[in-house]
Chains A and B, each alone.
Chain A
C-alpha cells in the first residue's frame, strides 16, 4: 500500500517505520527543514521517502503522489492542520482512507466525514479507555471509533452479575448491527463462534454500529 503520513513527529516517524517494515511504501511530510534534513541524513526510518513541505497545500500533496495513495494519515501535533490535510486528501484526491489524529479531545467532534476523516484517533481518549478497561470490571468501555463515529469497538469484562455468563453467544440476543470480535480469557484469545460459552472474567470485545450500543450493553452488562 502507498501511505502518506503528514507530520514527522515521534508519532509520524514511528508509524512510518512500522508501515515501511510491513512492506508498505511510505512518504513522510513535514514542514520543519531540520527534521527532514536529519531524517534524510540518518535514513531513519529505513526506506521511507521524505518530503519537506506543508501538507495542507494541494501542491505538496500532488508532489508526493496523493492521487494514487491508498491511505493518508494526518498525525501532526496540530488539529487544524490534521483537519485540513484530511479535507484536501478526500476532496481533491479521493484518497480511499484518511486517518487523522486528534490532539485536543475538545476538537474530536470535528473529525468526521465533514472534514474527510474516515478514522480519527484520539490519544487521550484511547488512554482513558485503556485506563477504564484496566480498572473497571462490568462496565462497557469504548476503545476506538471507526468510520467517523458510526462504528465503535468496545470492551466489557464480564462481572459476576452479567446476564451473559454461562450463555452461548447465539443466546445473548445481541442486535444485528453488532458482533463479538474476540473473547480474551486467561491471557489468550478465543475466536468466538456461535456456541462459545462466556464465563465470568472474560473480556468481550464487540464491534457496535449505529445506535445499538444500549442493547449491547444490556446483553453484556445488564
Chain B
C-alpha cells in the first residue's frame, strides 16, 4: 500500500521509518525540508516539501483512493484539513488525524474522520488505524489466555448489537468510544460506523472477532 504521511515531527518520522521497513511504500510531506533530517540517511521512502492539504501536492505524492494518509502535523487544524481533503476530494478510506485538543476530536469524529488523541499517541496506534493489518494489544492477561484489542467498527457492521458481537466472538466489549466520548456499552447498544471498541477476547480469538465484525480477511 502507498502511504502518505503528512508532518515529519517525532511521530510522523517514527511512522514513516516503521513503514519504510515493510512492504508498503511511504512518502513523507512536510512544509520544511529540515524536518526530514529526523528520517536519517538510510530512509528508504520518499519525501516531498509542500502543504499537505494542497490538492496538487497530494496528487504529486501519488494519492489514490486505495492509499492511506496520516495527518500528523503539529497543528490540529492542518490535520483536519488534510484528513478531509484526503477523504472527501480523493476518496481515501484509510485516513487518520492526530488531534491535540480532545474537545475538538468529538466534532471531527462526527465528520467521519478517525482521530487519535495526542495523549494516547503512539506510532503503533497510527499504523494500526492506517493499515488495519497491524494489531495492537491494549492488554494481555497474566495467564496469557485473554487479550484486549482495539477495533474500529466498519460501516458494514453498523446496527449490530453489542450482545450479538459478543456472542459471535465469544468476547466482551469492555469499552466503546463514539464521537470522541467513551462509555461502557450495554448489551442492547447498537454499533455504529467508526465506533472504537476495546474488546476482551481469548488470546487466539482475533480472527473470530474480525469475522464477527465483518472486517475483511487480512485487512483487519
Residues of A within 8 A of B (CB): 56-59, 78, 80-81, 83-84, 87-88, 91-92, 106-107, 109-110, 114
Report how far A109 CA is from B53 CA in the complex, Å: 11
- Known contacts A58-B103, A80-B81; 17 additional CB pairs below 8 A are A56-B104, A57-B103, A57-B104, A58-B104, A58-B107, A78-B77, A80-B53, A80-B75, A80-B77, A81-B77, A88-B107, A91-B107, A92-B107, A106-B54, A107-B53, A109-B55, A110-B81
Contacts of A109 in B (CB 8 A): 55
Contacts of A84 in B (CB 8 A): 77, 80
Contacts of B81 in A (CB 8 A): 80, 83, 110
> Which of B76, B77, B88, B104 is in CB contact (< 8 Å) with A83?
B77
Report how far A84 CA is from B81 CA in the complex, Å: 9
Q: Is B101 an interface residue (CB 8 A)?
A: yes
Contacts of A88 in B (CB 8 A): 107
> Which of B78, B88, B107 is in CB contact (< 8 Å) with A80?
B78
Contacts of B88 in A (CB 8 A): 114
Report how far A59 CA is from B103 CA in the complex, Å: 9
* Least CB distance, A148 to chain B, in whole angstroms: 15
* Least CB distance, B52 to chain A, in whole angstroms: 11
Contacts of B77 in A (CB 8 A): 56, 78, 80-81, 83-84
Identify whether the interface residues of B are mostly helix, strand, loop, or mixed: helix
* Least CB distance, A4 to chain B, in whole angstroms: 18
Quick one: closest A residue to B106, CB to CB?
A58
Contacts of B104 in A (CB 8 A): 56-58
The answer on a CB contact under 8 Å between A57 and B107 is no
Report how far A163 CA is from B136 CA in the complex, Å: 71
Report how far A78 CA is from B76 CA in the complex, Å: 13
Q: Could you name 19 residue pairs across A and B whose Cβ atoms are closer than 8 Å?
A: A56-B76, A56-B77, A57-B101, A57-B104, A58-B103, A58-B104, A59-B103, A80-B75, A80-B77, A81-B77, A83-B77, A84-B77, A84-B80, A87-B107, A88-B107, A91-B107, A92-B107, A106-B54, A109-B55
Contacts of B103 in A (CB 8 A): 57-59
Report how far A114 CA is from B81 CA in the complex, Å: 11
Contacts of A59 in B (CB 8 A): 103
| Those of B69-85 within 8 Å (CB) of chain A | 75-78, 80-81, 84-85
> Which 8 pairs across A and B sit closest by C-beta, in order of nearness?
A80-B77, A84-B77, A80-B78, A80-B81, A81-B77, A56-B77, A58-B103, A106-B54
Report how far A109 CA is from B85 CA in the complex, Å: 11
Report how far A91 CA is from B107 CA in the complex, Å: 9
Report how far A148 CA is from B80 CA in the complex, Å: 20
Contacts of A107 in B (CB 8 A): 53
Quick one: closest B residue to A114, CB to CB?
B88
Report how far A128 CA is from B53 CA in the complex, Å: 24
| Those of B36-81 within 8 Å (CB) of chain A | 53-55, 75-78, 80-81
Most buried by A among B55, B77, B84, B103: B77
Contacts of B107 in A (CB 8 A): 58, 87-88, 91-92
* Least CB distance, A6 to chain B, in whole angstroms: 12
Report how far A72 CA is from B54 CA in the complex, Å: 26
Report how far A93 CA is from B64 CA in the complex, Å: 35
Contacts of A57 in B (CB 8 A): 101, 103-104
Report how far A92 CA is from B103 CA in the complex, Å: 12
Report how far A182 CA is from B77 CA in the complex, Å: 41
Quick one: closest B residue to A88, CB to CB?
B107
